[in-house]
Amino acid sequence: MSKKIVIIGAVAAGPKAACRLKRLRPDWEVTMVDQDSLISYGGCGIPYYVSGDVSDESELRATSFHVVRDAAFFEHSKGVLVRTRTRALAIDRKAKTVRVENMDSGAQEDLPYDQLMLATGARPFELPIPGADLDGVFTISDLHKAIEIKKRIAQGKVSRAVVIGGGAIGIEMAEAFTDLWGVETTLLELQPQLLPRLVDRHFATMLKQHLVDKGVAVHTGESAEVLIEGDPGQVGSVRTGKRTLAADLVVMAVGVRPRSELARAAGLDVAPFGGIKVNQRLQTSDANIYAAGDCIALTHLLTGKDTHTPLGSLANREGRIVADNMAGRPALFHGVLGSFIMKAFERCIASTGLTLEAARVEGFDADCALTAPADRAHFFPDQAVVILQLVFDRRSRRVLGLQAFGMMNDSISARVDAAAALIAKGGTVEDFGLLEMAYAPPFSSAIDSINAAAYVAENLCDDRLRQVELARFLQWMEDMDSEPDWAVLDLRHPVEAAPYVDKFGADRWTALEYGQVRARHGELSPDKTYILMCNAGPRSYEVQVFLDHLGTVDTLVLCGGMNVISRLGVDWYIR
């Protein structure tokens, strides 16, 4: 028996569900409504459209075979009916109808449904600050805004931009402005770090330093307080608590909020943060109403808590699950780890699972293995250092997360995606040590970076490796008197160590090359705690184990070593 399906929202989850459903149930009538005229676009591609990497906005709305996905395409190729410029006003759950309004004609109508899908997405949060309504102030809410921003830049109307918000979209927009268009760009983030909650502080710091190296002015712990008019009606500058920044263009990218008003008004369960509550079949509290995409609350696979993970990739997967369940083919969506990746100029940063900070907040006995190996065989020409951090629970030895910062290529995808696969299956540090990464020198090391990180985690769990946390070490470098007995023991080549010995004095920065330790350890002081320093960490660990065996000298390993330090932009680092 044919059924009527209505889908509200036609960007990602909606179209995916509609098309899958028409394949599963070709005789059902599937109607999508969307208030926009442009639908089914790759919103995540907006920064690349603005930057010029994607030359025309229609490419974001086209199939891989270069046909634009407009209403006619859905009707003729997919058999899906589409009403654009049509707003859903209310759901009558009893009558099973949706009241919609044509935004051009103003005509209203009740669309009957057997099953309804809410794919209403999320809207950018707009800072309630003076001047937010000035011309030249944008959120990245849809393609129209992106088209307008690009037009202004291309017309030479933008020489200075301020991006408010140091999340992924803000950073991508800052890169787009700076890199291709040479717009003088400032990035503001209210939190003390970029990518808050997505990565731990030191990863954010490495990213910030790279942005600064590439010409973006970055101010963390600082946000816009007032947007000031320049030309009449136009934004002219941005005032923060600390400075005033001239700006022809302001982008607000301070996060998004689920669009759940319709669901709430219809009496459906909504999480406190606004995400529509769904079960594993993605049904709302009304079994005839499904929801998917940026408007829902998802379960975090590690914490079991509600989380908001607005990503086009998840929206598509969820859309397929909705279609399966609507069609009577049971399918479950278990939850998310929050895998995240982004390009930032010549670097890539990614994470999956929990950060160390989040894991501790959640009550795990969390620790982390911070490593800095080569991203492929260290003798292979294109190799480069990657910073990798495995977060794990010391008690259960379960891996909770992985973060990575390295060169802009796909090597970080490989580690983060494999990690996500294994974390979702409850993988332990031992599982990660055995993870069978495909090996050849152009792609990986014989001991892959992810295996190596797991080995460090094992050594930490077994209390064979004692580390000083990076933040504590950096604090000490700012105030060495805070631990008067500490000294760095630099195990690198004497040529590498010498400038630091000169700068800090041999008492605070002692040089003893790795290969000499077994012969010359007698020179070390039994009254000190040596912070062991090498480039990546393994030499330091080896020396710690050796000195522990002798039992005369106290040490702590700085995991990740100079490879991490050199990326943090600390002022005492000697380039």
DSSP 46-61: HHHHHHTSS--GGGGG
Ranges within 183-212 binding a second copy (CB under 8 A):
none
Rounded Cα gap, residues 37 and 312, in angstroms: 19
Give least dist CB 432 to a second copy, A.
Answer: 9
Task: Identify which range of 227-235, 337-345, 358-366, 392-400 contacts a second copy by CB under 8 A.
Answer: 337-345
Residue 131 has a CB neighbour count (10 Å cut-off) of 20
Q: What are phi and psi of 560, to 5 degrees?
A: 90, -25
Ranges within 21-50 binding a second copy (CB under 8 A):
23-24, 26-27, 42, 44-45, 48
Nearer to a second copy, 270 or 416 (CB): 416
Task: Identify which range of 63-71, 100-108, 155-163, 191-199 contacts a second copy by CB under 8 A.
Answer: 63-71
Nearer to a second copy, 7 or 327 (CB): 327
Q: Which residues contact 514 (CB under 8 A, 6 or more apart)?
A: 491, 492, 534, 539, 542, 543
- The verdict on 408 binding a second copy (CB under 8 A) reads yes
- The verdict on 214 binding a second copy (CB under 8 A) reads no
Coil vs helix vs strand at 378 = coil
**354 exposure class (CB count in 10 Å sphere: 0-12, 13-18, 19+):** buried
- The verdict on 216 binding a second copy (CB under 8 A) reads no
Give least dist CB 175 to a second copy, A.
Answer: 11
Rounded Cα gap, residues 367 and 357, in angstroms: 9
Nearer to a second copy, 215 or 433 (CB): 433
Q: Find, among 370, 515, 356, 396, the residue nearest to 452 by Cα.
A: 370
Cα torsion at 325, 329, 335, 339 (round to 10°)?
-100
| 3-class secondary structure per residue, 449-508 | HHHHHHHHHHHHHCCCCCECCHHHHHHHHHCHHHCCCEEEEECCCHHHHHHHHHHHCCCC
From the list 147, 437, 474, 480, which residue makes contact with a second copy (rule: CB under 8 A)? 437
Q: Give the active site residue among 19, 44, 295, 368.
A: 44
Q: What are phi and psi of 505, to 5 degrees?
A: 90, 145
Give least dist CB 549 to a second copy, A.
Answer: 4
From the list 107, 361, 440, 570, which residue makes contact with a second copy (rule: CB under 8 A)? 440
Rounded Cα gap, residues 558 and 466, in angstroms: 9
- The verdict on 411 binding a second copy (CB under 8 A) reads yes
From the list 90, 180, 217, 331, which residue makes contact with a second copy (rule: CB under 8 A)? 331
Ranges within 140-159 binding a second copy (CB under 8 A):
none
Q: What angle do CA 564, 570, 575 make, to 5 degrees?
A: 75
How is residue 209 annotated by DSSP?
A: H
Nearer to a second copy, 78 or 208 (CB): 78
Alpha-helix residue ranges (DSSP H) falling in 232-311? 261-265
Could you confirm whether 44 is annotated as catalytic? yes
Q: Is the torsion defined by CA of 136, 126, 119, 331 positive or negative? A: positive
Nearer to a second copy, 25 or 528 (CB): 25
- The verdict on 128 binding a second copy (CB under 8 A) reads no
From the list 118, 218, 278, 420, which residue makes contact with a second copy (rule: CB under 8 A)? 420
Q: What is the size of the binding site for a second copy (CB under 8 A)?
A: 109
Ranges within 238-297 binding a second copy (CB under 8 A):
none
Ranges within 292-311 binding a second copy (CB under 8 A):
311
Give least dist CB 277 to a second copy, A.
Answer: 20
- The verdict on 62 binding a second copy (CB under 8 A) reads yes
Q: What angle do CA 527, 530, 536 make, to 5 degrees?
A: 170
Give least dist CB 220 to a second copy, A.
Answer: 22
Q: What angle do CA 477, 480, 484 make, to 5 degrees?
A: 145
SS3 content of the chain, % helix, strand, coil (to 5): 30, 25, 40
Nearer to a second copy, 185 or 544 (CB): 544
Ranges within 441-500 binding a second copy (CB under 8 A):
441-444, 446-448, 451, 455, 462, 464, 492-493
Nearer to a second copy, 1 or 519 (CB): 519
- The verdict on 81 binding a second copy (CB under 8 A) reads no
- The verdict on 562 binding a second copy (CB under 8 A) reads no
- The verdict on 166 binding a second copy (CB under 8 A) reads no
Ranges within 371-400 binding a second copy (CB under 8 A):
373-374, 377-381
Q: Find, among 394, 396, 386, the residue nearest to 459 by Cα.
A: 394
Structure-token pair, residue 567: 């990326």
Task: Identify which range of 181-189, 202-210, 504-512, 514-522 contacts a second copy by CB under 8 A.
Answer: 514-522
CB 437 within 8 A of CB 416: no
From the list 77, 108, 288, 552, which residue makes contact with a second copy (rule: CB under 8 A)? 77
Which positions are annotated as active-site residues?
44
